[in-house]
Structure formats: C-alpha cells, structure tokens
C-alpha cells in the first residue's frame, strides 16, 4: 500500500540533497508552504515529503515568570517563545504541522548525533504530536552522497534512537539548569552590590575551562627562571658547516661551561665511533574533529570554530564525511578504492591516488579512538567547484590526510658520529630518507628534515671551527592557544566534540579571555578567583567530568535520564544556597573589577579644562550616541564635553594635544591607525581646514 512519509532534516541544504538522492528520477518537486520550501520525492509507490528544520526549533524555558534563582521548573517550547533564533522558526513549525497531515510514516533524517536526534524528536513530539513517535524511523548516514543516502534509507532503524535522544535531552536540561541558575546568581550578585546590571555567565563546562586559563596564567606569573648554560659548536667537512651537539644538553654551572669552552675551542676532534639505525615513521591516522582542528590551527592558524564551520559546509556539499566525530578509524564498509578512483580525476590529487590504486590491498592506518556513530573524517571523492579559502584549506587537509593514512610508512636512516674533542664528547647527527612513504601524500604539511652527511670514517679528524657557551633561562609553560585549550578539554573529558568550540567562543564573547594566544582578562580572573573562594564546586573539573560520564551512561543505556536530572538538582541546590549566602561578597569583588575595566576601556585622559576630572566615554541614554565628557560634569564643577565618531571604536593614546591639551584618541581604518585631537575646535584643525 502506498505511503505518505514525512522526512525531517536538520538544514535546508541537506533536505535538497536527500530529496534528490531518494527520488527515483533524481528530480523531486520543490514546493512552498508559506515561506518554507519543501520537496516531494517519488520512491516506488511512496510519496516522500522532505522538509527541514533550522537547527533546534524547540528549546527549554522556565515555567512561570521571574528572573530569580534557583529555578528548576522547566519545559520545552518553540525557540521563539524563549526569544531565541530567527523569526523563521515559527514558519517552519507551522509548515511541518501542515505537511504532517495525512502522513502514514515519519523519518528522522537529521545528522546522526545527539543534537540531530534531539532536533527531529522534539519536532515530531511537539509539532506533529506524540502519535507520530510509534511510526517513526531513523536514517543513519555519514556522508550526503547519493549512494550513502540510498543505503541509509534501505537500512534505516525501525524506530528512533531513543538512548541518544535521552542523552541529548538530559544534556540540554542539565546545561540549562546549571547555566541559567549560575549565570543569574552571578549577574544578580553584581547588580545588588553595584546597582548596575551586567550580563555574566558561567556554566558547568565554562567554569573549569576558564579555570585552566587562570591557573596557567598563575604558573607563568609565579615562574622563576633558572639559568643554565648550553654549548654550541660547529665543524666543517669539505667546506660545508655542520652543527655539533655536546653530550650534555644543559650545564647547571657557568664554570663548567667555561671549562668546556676553554678545553675545546680551536681544537680538533676525532671520530671515535659511527652508529646508524633505521627509523620507521608510520603514516598518521585519519582525522577526527579534534585532530582536524589542531592541524588546521598548526598549518593555517585557523581557530577551531572556523575549522568546524568550514568542515560542516564541506559535509553539507557532500565533499567530506560528517565532521563531528571522535573516530580515527575507517571501517571496512567504506569503499576506499572507489573514493580513490574519484580523487584520481582531480589533477590536484591524481598522482598520489593513482599510486595507491596500484596497491593490491588498501589498509588504512587506524588510530586508537572510535565513535559508534561515525567513521573518521574522509573525502567522498566528489570534486568541489567553488570553495572559499578556509573550505579549500580544510578540504585539502582532509584529502591529503586520507591519502597519507593509506600510504606506506616513511623510513629514515639515522646516523650519529661520536667525536672526542680533548676529552669531551660531541655528536654529529645526520638523517637520510630511504623511503618517503606517506610524506609524499601529505605535502606541504609535513617537512622531511633530512640532514645529509658526507662519508665518515672512524679516526677522521674534524676541526672545531666555532664554539661558544651561552647562558639561557628555563621557560615558563606556554600560554594556551585555542587549539591547545581544546586539547586540554578533550584530555580532561569536559564538554563534547560538538560543544567545546562553542564554550571557548562564549569565553571570548563574555570578555573572560582574549587574544589568539589566550590570556585571561581581569574580569575572567576575578570571577574564577571569587568563585574559588566562595563557591569552588562551580568550577570543579571533577564534578563536570562526573556529569559527562552520567550522560554517556544514559546513551549506553546504563542510567536513566530522569535520575541524572534529579541528581543534577541535588548537586546544584547546595551550590546555589552557598552562593546566596555569599552573594554580597561575590558581587562586591566582581563589581570592583568591572568598575576598573570600565575606566580602562573608557578613560581618554585628564580634563584640560578643570585639570582634576577625567575625560570618559559616555553614552546618551535617549539617543544611544557616544560622547566624551569630564567626570566633574556630574557635580557641576566642569562642563567640558566632546563629540565622538559613532561608527568607529575609540582608543586612548595616553597623549595630549600639544596645542590645546585635549586628549589624543586613536581609531583604526582597516589595520591602519589614525590619531587625532579630541577637540573639534583645536586651532591646528582650523589651520588644516583652511
């Protein structure tokens, strides 16, 4: 009997691809319900109605009104009721309700992960009705190619993936309970202490992550450099210079370094022994999301968010597999040879692909990490036509890593000569490539550090053409960049592959951290330091890790979601009670930091009129326009004000105009700074105007 099946996808672009793949002729009809486009595909006798969401159409809100805490009474509602997302969500919900009329079956075709499973479930439950759940099935796919989508349709799960849905639902509810309650507690404590409202946020993953940055900053600030000495030497063989390595990498005392320099400088060395060994470097495993983000940062300095966004665009265009994966493995179900045949048609990859196609067996190098939902990130073989710079870079990385993981190991010969110089031992090191293997496939992202040595013989004498002893100092641990902070979050098992980059972005957005080399701001430092003193559980890595494990146990079926939410409330309640007891102290300490930050950000210089007040950036509450005025205008003892540019951020230079003594400000046009006197009536400006 013919069926009318409603298929829910996550995004409009995936709806179009799925509709084309599942239609028998590859030419589905595209129609509109109001402003929402949907597609009708014919598959045998069945009619498939394919319509997309816009990510989450439903979210969590509190029952009732108010902005206090604690709040534990919550419900799921359309995102527009929470003031979130764009206004099109209402149109999509209404369209899905209309299109569900007369449906005899339902399919969740959203991305196969926690978020995708939850998106389709909430739409089916709240927009269509709970009667749809018993008639719902689940497509599982890792690429948006026609072959993968058809295989997914023919082998879909007979029911929704309820353990994954339960874990996703619990994660959202847990994060909401922590995030809303703790953020309100922070914001309200500051308002109570200062009378001003400032939106602050902290959460069960935000807190520990910010604490990592704060602790690293403390390590750097308290680090005491220890001096040590290093011997640098050089020899010459056949008119070519070669560095020599002293047997001790570090000398703790200067006198020892001087003794070595005195004994060896200007002398000759004798080769006492020559050793060589073969070193095999296995090919790298294929990327998971974290590996891809770190490699893109290393090679292109792309931040993790930009890498993920580019990878998702490539996935939605069916150029690579699903990127939000933890796996470093390529299962046998993937037709590696077919992907290589397709890549061989692309001139950029043809040479390496053809070499690999000549192999009788294709055995990828597998990593240790696995993901039950998706394989490692790999190309589909389809050839991109137009890509932005970021997408082009990420695609090239993915393809070349795929080619590299199928290639042979690299083999090098390591050579070391032991050189005696007046009783002191030095090493002459060389390296020769015997088989470049996977390194050929991964160019230019790997460098073969080959150091070729001339023929060496035991007893050969070598001149010491250069020798010096240099004082060095031990270094503090480096500051995090976004890539290394992401790795630490992974290693500490806080957050997920899908949420970690968002957490880091939030820390930037709240001005808790700043810079490509991550530094904690005064505000971020104040929040962590205050919470360490009065409410340390909020920033506990152990508590966050335990909650993450609970969510994994839900997904594996070892724990019920309701139990986890009940335990979340039991964990959160005493934290919030202790917070309320110390709210005044917490608010006062953070308020002082905010006040200092306000002055730093808005101070332009001393007032040239009264000489006592400060010229500060202000905002007109009625017009919303910025201006600058003396702080003494509030008590009426000064009336100095200045107009400001409205579309450019203004910075203080710390300088005064030599003509009128007004503060000199700085603005940027592109990357070029421009300094000017704040006083529009400055005589120098009148002269320039004339």
Catalytic residues: 322
What residues have CB less than 8 Å from 174, skipping those under 6 apart? 204, 547, 551, 564, 565, 568
Burial 384-404 (b: 16+ CB within 10 A, else e): eeebeebbebbbbbbbbbbbb
SS (H, E, C) 144-159: CCHHHHHHHHHCCECC
How far is Cα 490 from Cα 498, in angstroms, rounded to an integer? 11
How far is Cα 361 from Cα 349, in angstroms, rounded to an integer? 19
- What is the layout of strands, in order, in the sheet containing 651-656? 651-656, 663-669, 672-677
Find out whether the peptide bond into 444 is cis, omega within 30 degrees of 0.
Answer: yes
- What is the layout of strands, in order, in the sheet containing 641-643? 603-606, 614-619, 626-630, 641-643
DSSP 3-state of 362:
coil
Helix (H) or strand (E) holding 568: helix 561-581
168 to 115, 660, 687: CA distances (angstroms):
6, 63, 67
How far is Cα 117 from Cα 5, in angstroms, rounded to an integer? 18
Tokens (6 digits) for 276: 């060589």
How far is Cα 257 from Cα 252, in angstroms, rounded to an integer? 9
Beta bridge mates, 326: none
DSSP 3-state of 92:
helix
Q: What is the DSSP string of 505-531?
A: HHHHHTTSEETTBTEE-HHHHHHHHHH
Burial 160-189 (b: 16+ CB within 10 A, else e): bbeebbbbbbbbbbbbbbbbbbbbbbbbbb
308 to 382, 498, 516: CA distances (angstroms):
20, 9, 17
Are 170 and 564 in contact, with CB atoms under 8 Å apart? yes
DSSP 3-state of 572:
helix
* Cβ neighbours around 451 below 10 Å, total: 13
Tokens (6 digits) for 405: 């993981």
Residue whose token pair is 């079926």: 557
Are 525 and 214 in contact, with CB atoms under 8 Å apart? yes
Helix (H) or strand (E) holding 60: strand 58-62
Pairing mode, strands 105-108 and 410-421: unpaired
Q: Could you tell me if residue 266 is left (phi over 0), alpha (psi between -120 and 50 degrees) or otherwise beta? A: left
Torsion, Cα of 393, 397, 398, 404 (10° steps): 160
Rounded to a whole number of angstroms, the distance between the first and last alpha carbons of the chain is 87
């Amino acid at each position: 009997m013919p069926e009318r099946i409603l298929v829910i996808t996550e995004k409009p672009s995936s709806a179009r691809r799925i509709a084309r793949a599942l239609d028998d002729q590859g030419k589905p009809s595209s129609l509109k319900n109001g402003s929402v486009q949907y597609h009708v595909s014919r598959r045998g006798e069945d009619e498939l109605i394919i319509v997309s969401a816009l990510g989450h159409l439903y979210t969590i809100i509190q029952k009732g009104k108010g902005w206090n805490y604690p709040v534990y009474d919550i419900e799921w509602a359309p995102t527009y009721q929470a003031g979130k997302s764009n206004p099109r969500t209402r149109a999509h919900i209404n369209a899905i309700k209309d299109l569900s009329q007369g449906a005899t079956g339902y399919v969740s075709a959203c991305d196969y992960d926690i978020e995708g499973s939850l998106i389709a479930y909430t739409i089916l439950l709240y927009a269509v009705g709970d009667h749809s759940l018993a008639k719902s099935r689940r497509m599982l796919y890792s690429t948006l190619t026609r072959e993968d989508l058809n295989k997914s349709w023919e082998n879909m799960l007979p029911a929704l993936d309820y353990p994954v849905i339960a874990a996703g639902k619990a994660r959202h509810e847990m994060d909401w309970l922590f995030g809303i309650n703790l953020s309100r507690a922070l914001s309200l404590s500051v308002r109570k202490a200062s009378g001003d409202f400032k939106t602050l946020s902290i959460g069960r993953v935000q807190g520990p992550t910010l604490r990592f940055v704060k602790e690293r900053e403390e390590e750097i600030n308290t680090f005491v450099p220890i001096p040590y000495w290093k011997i640098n030497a050089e020899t010459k063989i056949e008119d070519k210079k070669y560095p020599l390595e002293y047997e001790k990498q570090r000398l703790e005392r200067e006198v020892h370094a001087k003794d070595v320099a005195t004994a060896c400088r200007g002398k000759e060395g004798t080769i006492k022994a020559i050793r060589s060994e073969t070193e095999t470097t296995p090919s790298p495993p294929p990327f998971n999301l974290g590996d891809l983000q770190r490699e893109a940062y290393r090679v292109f300095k792309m931040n993790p968010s930009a890498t993920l966004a580019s990878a998702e665009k490539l996935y939605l265009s069916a150029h690579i597999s699903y990127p939000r994966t933890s796996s470093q493995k390529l299962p046998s179900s993937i037709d590696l040879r077919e992907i290589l045949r397709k890549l061989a048609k692309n001139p950029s990859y043809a040479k390496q692909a053809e070499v690999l196609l000549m192999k009788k067996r294709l055995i990828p190098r597998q990593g240790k990490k696995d993901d039950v939902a998706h394989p490692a990130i790999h190309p589909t073989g389809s050839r991109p036509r137009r890509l932005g710079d970021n997408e082009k870079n990420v695609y090239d990385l993915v393809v070349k890593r795929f080619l590299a993981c199928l290639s042979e190991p690299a083999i090098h010969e390591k050579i070391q000569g032991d050189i005696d110089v007046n009783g002191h031992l030095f090493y002459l090191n060389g390296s020769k490539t015997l088989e470049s293997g996977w390194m050929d496939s991964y160019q230019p992202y790997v460098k073969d550090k080959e150091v070729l040595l001339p023929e060496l013989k035991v007893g050969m004498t070598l001149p010491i053409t250069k020798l010096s002893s240099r004082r060095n100092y031990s270094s503090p641990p480096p500051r995090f960049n976004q890539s290394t902070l992401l790795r630490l979050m992974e290693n500490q098992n806080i957050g997920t592959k899908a949420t970690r980059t968002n957490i880091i972005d939030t820390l930037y957005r709240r001005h808790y951290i700043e810079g490509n080399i991550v530094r904690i701001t005064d505000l971020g430092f104040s929040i962590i330091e205050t919470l360490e003193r009065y409410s340390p559980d909020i920033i506990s890595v152990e508590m966050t890790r335990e909650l993450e494990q609970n969510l994994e146990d839900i997904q594996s079926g070892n724990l019920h979601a309701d139990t986890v939410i009940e335990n979340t409330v039991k964990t959160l309640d005493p934290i919030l009670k202790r917070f309320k007891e110390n709210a005044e102290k917490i608010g006062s300490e953070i308020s002082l930091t905010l006040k200092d930050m306000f002055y730093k950000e808005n101070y332009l210089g001393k007032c040239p009129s009264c000489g006592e007040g400060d010229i500060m950036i202000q905002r007109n509450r009625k017009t919303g326009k910025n201006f600058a005025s003396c702080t003494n205008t509030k008590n009426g003892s000064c009336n100095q004000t200045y107009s400001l540019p409205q579309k450019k951020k203004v910075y203080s230079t710390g300088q005064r105009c030599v003509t009128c003594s007004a503060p000199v400000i700085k603005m940027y046009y592109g990357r070029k700074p421009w300094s000017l006197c704040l006083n529009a009536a400055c005589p120098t400006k009148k002269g320039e105007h004339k």
